[in-house]
Chains A and B, each alone.
Chain A
Amino acid sequence: MSVTLDIRLKRANKVYHEGPIQLISSNIEVAKAGKIPGGKTEIPFEFPLQTKGNKVLYETYHGVFVNIQYTLRCDMKRSLLAKDLSRNCEFIVHCQPQKAKVAPTPVNFTITPDTLQNIRERSALPKFLIRGHLDATNCVISQPLTGELVVENSDVPIKSIELQLVRVETCGCAEGYARDATEIQNIQIAEGDICHGLSIPIYMVFPRLFTCPTLETTNFKVEFEVNIVIVLHDDHLITENFPLKLCRV
């Protein structure tokens, strides 16, 4: 007779909040030793996420260098003749939203050939003037990033304008630190030769899985940036970078 063991969370997509506490390793007994009757047995369980030592309980996060993951493991010890059973299951932890209000920090920007850095031949650049603003750079993670952009003029027609959300992980280690930037979302906000002088909305929803509040610890950092990428018809690529600070309110 085969016996299977399964952990099912009441709600798989439930987000468990907890304040900053130590990383966890706690054990509870969900069922006393004894005989479990044949068929399906469901055992309800519950335990608080208690911090351990002086460690901080961070939000669930899956990155390249940094992974913060919480798992449940259920072991079922059995008599000598039968194998013990074991099963793993991930659960997601979100920080308790901060009560503090985030003051919006609007940013205006103007992009012309002159404002650009990192160019080889400035004279080869076509003329253009792009203006706009972001409503805030310290953003609430559950709210979209918003703003506006106007192409006032451009000698070469625009091919596409995109918002590129970039995550930057920095890891401190003995040899210094490692830094890795990953594009986690790219949203096109304009396609083709858009009308000059007409404001175009900047709007991006933060993806739930790949973002977390900006995190800065002694060992590592997780930060976010948004790039406004303007592709001209002659495949010139103009990028304007804005660091973001994400938080949960």
Chain B
Amino acid sequence: FYLERSRGRNYEAELQRCHPEVALVEFGDYHPLKPIMVTDTKTRRGARKGSTSSSSSSSSSVPPDPLSSMLDGTDPLSMFAAASASETPAMSHSRREKEEEAVGPDFEPWSSKRGEILARFTTTEKLSIVTAVVSVGKAPSPGSSAVSEKVRTRLEELDDLEEGSQRELLNLSQQDYANRIEELNQSLKEAWASDQKVKALKIVIQCSKLLSDTSVIQFYPSKFVLITDILDTFGRLVYDRIWTMCSDPRPLPDSFTVEDVNDTAKETCLNWFFKIASIRELLPRLYVEAAILKCNRFLNKSGIQETLPRLTAMIRGIGDPLVAAYARAYLCRVGMEVAPHLKDSLNRNFFDLLGTFRQISGESVRNQLVLQRVEVPEYLTLYSPAISWILQCIAYRAPEPLLTEMMERCKKLGNNALLLNSVMRAFRPEFVAIRATDFIGMIKDCDEAGFPKHLLFGSLGRSLACADPPESERLTILNEAWKVVTKVRSPQDYINCAEIWVEFTCRHFTKREVNTVLADIIKHMTPDRAFEDAYPQLQSVIRKILTYFHDFSVLFSMERFLPFLDMFQKDSVRVEVCRSIMEVFIKHQVELTRDPVILNAMLHICKTMHDSVNALTLEDEKRSLALLIIGFIRMVSFGRDFEQQLSFCVEARATFCNLEPVLVQLIHTVNQLAMETRRVMGGNHSRKTAAFVRACAAYSFITIPSLSSIFSRLSLYLLSGQVALANQCLSQADAFLKAAVSILPEVPRSISVEGKLRSSESFLLDFINNFLATLLVVPDHPEHGVLYLVRGLLNMVQDYTWEDNSDAKVRVYISALPLLAAMSQETYLYSIPKVDSNETLYGGDPKFLSEINKLCETLIGQILDHLKALGRDEVRTNADVQRFCFFFLMIRSVLQKVSRGSPCSPAPEHQSLVYKLGKNICASHIRFV
């Protein structure tokens, strides 16, 4: 069979013909995207359901919502809301009032302090716990004839618990201790659930008693947290129980009064109070009564109001100042929860606390500390959660004068450091900030013994980090603060404090001050590699700086910034820091940059990230690091200085050679550079720019082979080839394309896509099609034969080990036919300016055309062979038939396209063969399916 020549094409005219007609939609016309217009025709059409015309809206441009059209105006939910709003205005009024006195969301609840305290106050010392063996279900004493008898046994049981039958668990680790307390919590709940109220009370008494034990004092705040959890549970249980007793027949409203409570409930409630009042020991009596404070609501109106001051006074009986301080904290906590409007007791508690402050330095405490080998500063910090909490309760929505009064009282107490610290922590940052200078004065006047000043400055710094002192005082404040901070000996103490002040510095000052601060930190943290223990704080410093400095030229012009980074010597931390810097850079750097300061620093940072990659690095990790580095590379631009840009890419390639995505990006950047050069030169390269674009091509050419992903290589070869071609670098383009063809056999049959193994065939076919489209414009190499690249490609395709039963090869052949047809045209469909394609090169030379035809023949022959094979083998499955039909139609249309209108029509035997085959297959299909 013989094919003389492809049909001649007039691409321009075809393009015109292919343009779809633009139809305008008239205003009145129907269009699915136009809003529905509903017009009321006023004619009722019986009971036709769902007809929009029966709705009463006369004309709307918006389609009516079927849901809202069902209702007249208001939907049921808002109707309910409206109803309840109008109903009993007095009640809602009182509720609002109540809300006003209640604690708002701006009050930091105890629950948020809990975790912090538990994490902070820990110990490795061994703890002990004294628990009574709680006897369950003691047999009732014989002859119990009266109520009093029963009560007596109960009281005896309580006594039992207080006196004997105790067991001491020694040598508990902190975790054991917490577990043990949790067990008690559980057994409390169980006892309660099984109606063993006496046992429940016993457990609670037992727990509160633990709070008078101050051995292992550094654990005390945590112990307090754990035990008061149990007390809270108990308080809730009792309250709920009594509440349920009054809930018959209907539940008690939240705002109930004493009159709503029935006698039985009152009696039960009273019994609880009597029972608690007879607890022998002070501390349990106090804590347990505080725990059920809320129950006073069942008994009388003023119960809480009377009880709080009494309990407050009762705390004076606690000799140990630490135990007393925490008891006060608990009372304030319960008070805030139950009756936040009763501020007097809060204040009273605080003043009592001040009154007993001298005890802290008393002999008893001193002896205890010596015994336990605890230093005074450490001891003092044990107080801070309690005192801070009390002050927080007082300071909550407190009027300014009260706060001022508190400050005055602190001054009177000789500026007690511990107190001052708590004041600064508990009061509103704004309050502290405007008096910052005052506070500094007070801190200076503080007694140096005991409470370290850096902690005070730390607290002040924390307030100043979120509220601004008067502008004129800021520098003085910083100087005063830093004067103290820099003198702190212990690196750990120093960094804890310095880290806080960095924020203030960043907030109000320039890079100069921040630089000084950084220098100071470096000076303190470098000796003995102190930084190794302070990574979290150092990271926090970086975070704060990055929050305030988004201009990277300023940031990197801080001399000490990079040396600061050098302190992160642990790899994981170092990379994390770099990463955080990069993230901020990518987010905030909007303009392209060529600033050498930024580039140097960023290269350094990126290199650090890059160098952290090793064989063990996870793929995800690599990917995210690569993305960050790519983000940086994209921001680099030397403007018109293309050569510099290229040399940057060269440097970057050397630096980031282990991260393929970065290399890919670099190749893209360089290709872009070449195209940019071309644009600048308007397509006419000078000798210099021509050399430059060739250098670009060379860059890509030597970079691509280092990529491991075959498809990256293929597509980059093709892309770079195209760029080279566009820049009239013919031999470079040729080299790229040749390289692409030469690595085709390396393409594996399956590749991993997102972790799954998939056949590479479709990717390969895509690539080849793309490649073929490019080949149209690539001129033949003078030293090689005609259609040298096309042949090369087809040879590779032929030799490639395709999947068994795959049609891919034939598909490539079919795709190659239109290329060959297009090549035989007088004018090509597309071309590259300044590049002579084969059309010009050969000028329609018949030898060239016949070469094309020969190639076509071979291809068609191959395709037909394939078809024949398909036809000869029994067609077994539906898929086979489909495959055949597909090819049949393909080849037919290709042949038609190739041959129609050509001077010589395809050989008749050729056509008849196709049809014959088709018939056969169709017949067999009918037979077998």
On A, residues with C-beta under 8 Å from B are: 12-13, 62, 71, 88-90, 92, 144, 157-158, 161, 185-195, 198-201, 203-205, 207-209
Contacts and interface: CB of A to CB of B under 8 A. Distances in A.
Interface residues of B, number: 34
Contacts of A12: 147
B861 interface: no
B151 A209 contact: yes
Contacts of A89: 145-146
B317 A201 contact: yes
A191 B148 contact: no
Contact of B316 (A186, A198, A205): A198
Q: Give the top 3 A-B pairs by smallest Cβ distance, nearest first.
A: A192-B319, A90-B146, A190-B317
Interface stretch (B276-284, B395-403, B491-499, B871-879): B276-284
A194 B319 contact: yes
Contacts of B267: 13
A209 B277 CA distance: 13
A204 B279 CA distance: 11
Summarize B's interface: helix, strand, loop or mixed: helix
B162 to A, nearest CB: 10
A191 B281 contact: yes
B815 interface: no
B637 interface: no
B825 interface: no
Contact of A199 (B277, B282, B316, B320): B316
B367 to A, nearest CB: 9
A194 B318 contact: yes
A191 B282 contact: yes
A89 B356 CA distance: 54
Contacts of B37: none
Contacts of B145: 71, 88-90
Interface in B343-384: 352, 355-356, 358-359, 362-364
A12 B152 CA distance: 15
Contact of B277 (A161, A188, A201, A205): A205
A125 B267 CA distance: 48
13 contacts: A13-B267, A88-B145, A90-B148, A189-B317, A190-B318, A193-B359, A193-B362, A194-B319, A195-B358, A198-B355, A199-B316, A201-B316, A208-B274
B356 A190 contact: no
A186 B280 contact: yes
A200 B317 contact: yes
Given A192-B364, A193-B362, A205 B148 contact: no
B310 interface: yes
A193 B317 CA distance: 9
A94 to B, nearest CB: 13
A203 B148 contact: no
Interface string B278-318: 10111101000000000000000000000000100110111
Nearest to B323: A192
A191 B280 contact: no
Contacts of A200: 313, 316-317
A188 B280 contact: yes
B90 to A, nearest CB: 36
Contacts of A92: 147-148
A71 to B, nearest CB: 8
Contacts of B313: 200-201
Given A157-B364, A191-B319, A205 B278 contact: yes
A192 B148 contact: no
A190 B282 contact: yes
B310 A203 contact: yes
Given A191-B281, A198-B355, A200-B317, 9 more contacts: A12-B147, A62-B148, A90-B145, A144-B277, A185-B278, A189-B282, A193-B359, A201-B314, A209-B155
A158 B317 CA distance: 11
Given A194-B316, A195-B356, A209 B148 contact: yes
Contacts of B355: 195, 198
B902 interface: no
B318 A192 contact: yes
A212 to B, nearest CB: 12
B212 interface: yes
A227 B199 CA distance: 30
A200 B312 CA distance: 10
B826 to A, nearest CB: 111
B356 A198 contact: yes
Nearest to A158: B319
A188 B316 contact: no
A71 B145 CA distance: 10
Contacts of B316: 190, 194-195, 198-201
Contacts of B358: 195
Contact of B314 (A157, A193, A203): A203
Contacts of B212: 191-192
B467 to A, nearest CB: 36
A4 to B, nearest CB: 16
A90 B145 CA distance: 7
A5 B267 CA distance: 28
Given A62-B148, A190-B317, A195-B356, A205 B274 contact: yes
Contacts of A161: 317
Contacts of A158: 319
Nearest to B320: A192
B146 to A, nearest CB: 4
A34 B317 CA distance: 66
A95 B316 CA distance: 37
> Max chain A CB contacts within 10 Å: which of B278, B318, B355?
B278
B674 to A, nearest CB: 86
A234 B1 CA distance: 126
A194 B317 contact: yes
A200 B317 CA distance: 6
A208 B280 CA distance: 16
Interface string B253-267: 000000000000001
B148 A201 contact: no
Nearest to B276: A205
A38 to B, nearest CB: 28
A100 B285 CA distance: 34
A147 B359 CA distance: 24
A185 B281 CA distance: 11
A201 to B, nearest CB: 4
A41 B902 CA distance: 120
Contacts of B364: 157, 192-193
A148 to B, nearest CB: 9
B334 to A, nearest CB: 19
A35 B493 CA distance: 91
A195 B280 contact: no
Contacts of A193: 319-320, 359, 362, 364
B922 to A, nearest CB: 95
Contacts of B362: 193
A233 to B, nearest CB: 9
A43 B178 CA distance: 56
B773 to A, nearest CB: 93
A13 B147 CA distance: 8
A207 B276 CA distance: 11
B846 to A, nearest CB: 118
B310 to A, nearest CB: 7
B319 A190 contact: yes
A209 B150 CA distance: 11
A170 to B, nearest CB: 23
Contacts of B352: 198
Which of A161, A189, A193, A204 has the most chain B CB within a 10 Å cutoff? A193
A94 B281 CA distance: 30
Interface in B805-820: none
A89 B145 CA distance: 6
Contacts of A194: 316-319
A203 B317 CA distance: 11
Nearest to B363: A157
Interface string B611-622: 000000000000
